[in-house]
């Protein structure tokens, strides 16, 4: 059933102190699946990504590179923007926090709304500042030796006069919102983490830094001695990109966000601070916050010092976008941590794609094109109904942010189709029982069409080729039937010689499959 309505999905905005890594590619691809799935439901979709370009880490990284901050972030922002082409992302917009025309007016407006609510005040603060987080941490958040557990660095003791946001004021309301699922945090374990933080007691948050310490950012409205800190700057992008400053028709159409997709390390900012800011500004809250985990490499944390950072561009160049999308979405649990392994990537490519999907498409279509009477015949109602049940299981998995399970549903259908091919021995069935042959082949073609339809959010190029082999991307096979075309190789077999090295550099480019028929 086609569902009408709007669907606004955002990724976190990438911090531009270093080039994109595989973890950010994962988040972008996950969001792309959800956006494409909403497109298939007939929804009006807006998919936003972008870059967070202010802060002390940016200044330090630019200085180390011998560049001015603006020149430094311009280069890196383009690298993040290039993920769209490299991974066939369907994002509609890309926001930059250095954009003084699109972003700054909305961030300033949000600050002023917080002031009007009486939730911004100035005070002297002494605390433990983690440059990696660009945030003050409590002693409770440090490990047993006083280090930040995420960045493995000891925070600095900082004392300065800043503006603060009254996060503590919204503690009870945040508890109610998360408990009632009005602000849904997925998976449930992450919601429990947020409840634990609330139970410990929420403290007011530093919302600015002295301009003498940090002059790379948006000046605080009405106080040129202070720079707006990351929270009212970076988090505001979800509003500013859709026209919050002038409350455009786009803003009225798409806000609130239906999904914020974020990593587990920044969940507390999105599930506690951001909703509190929206409550203060009297704006609607996002409907769901989906949380993904981290990628390790061969069992260890990705680290430049270890030399195991995987370059997502070189990886896509070696294998193609769709195989990497498939691996990331199938091998890694959507809401948990997962490991990137060159060995498993090659195994998945060979078994699931080349020998699995590619071989099934080839076997069915090679036989189908020999019987012209199959063209234009619609499948039986029982077949359509059975496939609708499969699609319902698949949709439930996508919408509960279990993308790996949704792919498992597709591959289970493919396994059933393979079993039907073997059981009926379709390569000889037409000579023995032509009526049975046509019935079985229509089941198989309908099954392939459903595979292509469900696969499109995950592997769009591959899905479009499969559907083109069946008669066209826009063909209504339920009523019009099929127009089978001779198959061509979808996934050329790969050997170890194309595996990327530890830093992602491939030694051979995967050959492109032949173009689909038109």
Contact indicator for 43, 8 with CB cutoff of 8 Å: no
What is the per-residue pLDDT across 72-89, written as a single tens digit (0 to 9) for each? 999 999 999 999 999 999
Give me the residues paired with residue 223 across strands. Answer: 220
What DSSP state is assigned to residue 255?
P
Calculate mean pLDDT across residues 124-131: 75
Contact indicator for 265, 132 with CB cutoff of 8 Å: no
Q: Which three-class secondary structure state does DSSP give residue 161? A: strand
Tell me whether residue 481 is in a domain.
yes
Calculate mean pLDDT across residues 386-393: 98
What is the per-residue pLDDT across 345-385, written as a single tens digit (0 to 9) for each? 999 999 999 999 999 999 999 999 999 999 999 999 999 99
- Beta strand 208-210 with 205-206 is unpaired
23-28, Cβ contacts within 8 angstroms, sequence gap of 24 or more: 23/263, 23/294, 23/295, 23/302, 24/80, 24/83, 24/312, 25/83, 25/87, 25/312, 25/324, 25/328, 26/292, 26/295, 26/328, 26/332, 27/261, 27/262, 27/263, 27/292, 28/83, 28/87, 28/89, 28/91
Tell me whether residue 284 is in a domain.
no
Tell me whether residue 95 is in a domain.
no
Calculate mean pLDDT across residues 184-192: 97
pLDDT of 390 above 60: yes
What DSSP state is assigned to residue 269?
I
**pLDDT value, residue 308:** 72
Question: For residue 17, which phi and psi values (nearest 5 degrees)?
Answer: -100, 0
Q: What is the dihedral of CA 254, 258, 262, 267, to 10 degrees?
A: 110
Which of these, 405, 404, 175, 185, lies nearest to 290 by C-alpha position? 185
Tell me whether residue 431 is in a domain.
yes
Give the CA count within 13 Å in the CB-facing half-sphere of 472. Answer: 10
Calculate mean pLDDT across residues 475-495: 89
Question: For residue 512, which phi and psi values (nearest 5 degrees)?
Answer: -75, 140
Q: Which three-class secondary structure state does DSSP give residue 467? A: helix
Calculate mean pLDDT across residues 460-472: 96
Q: Which three-class secondary structure state does DSSP give residue 205? A: strand
Calculate mean pLDDT across residues 311-321: 95
pLDDT of 166 above 60: yes
Give the Cα separation of 324 and 356 in Å (integer): 16
pTM confidence score = 0.91
Which of these, 174, 172, 190, lies nearest to 182 by C-alpha position? 174
Q: Which three-class secondary structure state does DSSP give residue 11? A: strand
**pLDDT value, residue 304:** 60
Specify the number of domains making up the chain. Answer: 1
CA separation, residue 335 to residues 81, 143, 186, 209, 295 (Å): 25, 24, 8, 34, 11
Q: What is the overall mean pLDDT for the chain? A: 91
H or E element in which residue 296 lies: strand 295-297
Q: How confident is the model at residue 457 (pLDDT cuts 50, 70, 90)?
A: very high
What is the per-residue pLDDT across 431-455, written as a single tens digit (0 to 9) for each? 999 999 999 999 999 999 999 999 9
Give the Cα separation of 477 and 482 in Å (integer): 6
**pLDDT value, residue 506:** 38
**More confident site: 144 or 459:** 459
**pLDDT value, residue 473:** 83
Calculate mean pLDDT across residues 108-124: 97
Give the Cα separation of 240 and 247 in Å (integer): 9
Tell me whether residue 287 is in a domain.
no
| Tokens describing residue 396 | 């439930």
The alpha carbon dihedral of 287, 458, 502, 350 has a sign of positive
Q: How confident is the model at residue 502 (pLDDT cuts 50, 70, 90)?
A: very low
**pLDDT value, residue 514:** 39
The label of the residue with tokens 């009297």 reads 282
**pLDDT value, residue 151:** 65
Tell me whether residue 335 is in a domain.
no
**Which strands make up the sheet holding 338-340, listed edge to edge?**
300-301, 295-297, 338-340
Q: How confident is the model at residue 134 (pLDDT cuts 50, 70, 90)?
A: low
Tell me whether residue 142 is in a domain.
no
460-467, Cβ contacts within 8 angstroms, sequence gap of 24 or more: 460/36, 460/88, 460/90, 460/322, 461/88, 461/320, 461/321, 461/322, 462/322, 462/357, 462/490, 464/516, 465/490, 465/513, 465/516, 466/357, 466/361, 466/490
**pLDDT value, residue 303:** 63
In percent, the amount of the chain with pLDDT more than 70 equals 91
Q: What is the CATH number of the domain that holds 409?
A: 1.10.730.10
pLDDT of 281 above 80: yes
Tell me whether residue 110 is in a domain.
no
**pLDDT value, residue 513:** 41
Domain span including residue 468: 352-498
Contact indicator for 326, 30 with CB cutoff of 8 Å: no
Instruction: Spell out the SS3 assignment of 13-40.
Output: CEECCCCCCHHHHHHHHHHHHHHHHHHH
**pLDDT value, residue 33:** 98
């Amino acid at each position: 059933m086609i569902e009408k309505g709007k669907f606004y999905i955002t990724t976190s905005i990438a911090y531009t102190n270093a080039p994109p890594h595989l973890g950010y590619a994962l988040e972008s691809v996950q969001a792309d699946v959800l956006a494409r799935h909403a497109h298939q439901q007939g929804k009006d979709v807006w998919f936003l990504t972008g870059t967070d370009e202010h802060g002390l880490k940016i200044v330090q990284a630019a200085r180390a590179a011998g560049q001015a901050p603006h020149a430094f972030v311009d280069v890196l922002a383009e690298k993040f923007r290039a993920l769209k082409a490299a991974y066939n992302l369907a994002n509609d917009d890309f926001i930059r926090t250095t954009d003084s025309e699109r972003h700054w007016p909305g961030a300033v407006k949000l600050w002023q709304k917080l002031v009007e609510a009486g939730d911004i005040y100035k005070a002297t603060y002494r605390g433990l500042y983690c440059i990696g987080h660009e945030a003050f941490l409590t002693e409770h958040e440090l490990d047993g030796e006083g280090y930040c557990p995420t960045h493995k660095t000891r925070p600095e003791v900082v004392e300065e006069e800043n503006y603060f946001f009254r996060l503590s004021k919204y503690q009870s309301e945040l508890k109610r919102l998360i408990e009632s699922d009005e602000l849904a945090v997925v998976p449930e374990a992450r919601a429990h983490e947020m409840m634990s933080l609330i139970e410990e007691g929420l403290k007011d948050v530093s919302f600015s830094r002295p301009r003498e310490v940090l002059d790379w950012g948006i000046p605080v409205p009405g106080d040129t001695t202070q720079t707006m800190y990351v929270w009212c700057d970076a988090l505001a992008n979800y509003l500013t990109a859709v026209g919050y400053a002038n409350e455009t028709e786009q803003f009225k159409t798409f806000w609130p966000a239906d999904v914020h997709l974020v990593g587990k390390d920044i969940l507390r900012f999105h599930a506690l601070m951001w909703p509190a800011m929206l409550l203060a500004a009297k704006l609607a809250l996002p409907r769901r916050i989906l949380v993904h985990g981290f990628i390790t490499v061969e069992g260890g944390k990705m680290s430049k010092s270890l030399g195991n950072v995987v370059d997502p561009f070189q990886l896509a160049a070696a294998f193609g976008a769709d195989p990497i999308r498939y691996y990331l979405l199938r091998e890694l649990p959507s809401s948990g941590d997962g490991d990137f392994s060159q060995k498993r990537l090659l195994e998945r490519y060979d078994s699931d794609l080349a020998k699995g999907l590619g071989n099934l498409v080839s076997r069915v279509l090679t036989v189908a094109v020999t019987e012209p009477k199959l063209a234009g015949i619609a499948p039986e109602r029982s077949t359509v109904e059975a496939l609708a049940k499969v699609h319902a299981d698949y949709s439930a998995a996508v919408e509960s942010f279990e993308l790996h399970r949704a792919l498992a549903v597709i591959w289970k259908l493919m396994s059933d189709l393979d079993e039907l091919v073997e059981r009926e021995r379709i390569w000889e069935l037409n000579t023995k029982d032509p009526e049975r042959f046509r019935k079985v082949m229509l089941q198989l073609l309908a099954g392939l069409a459903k595979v292509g339809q469900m696969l499109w959010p995950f592997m769009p190029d591959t899905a479009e080729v499969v559907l083109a082999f069946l008669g066209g991307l826009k063909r209504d096979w339920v009523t019009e039937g099929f127009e089978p075309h001779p198959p061509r190789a979808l996934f050329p077999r790969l050997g170890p010689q194309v595996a990327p090295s530890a830093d992602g550099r491939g030694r051979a480019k995967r050959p492109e499959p032949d173009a689909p028929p038109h």
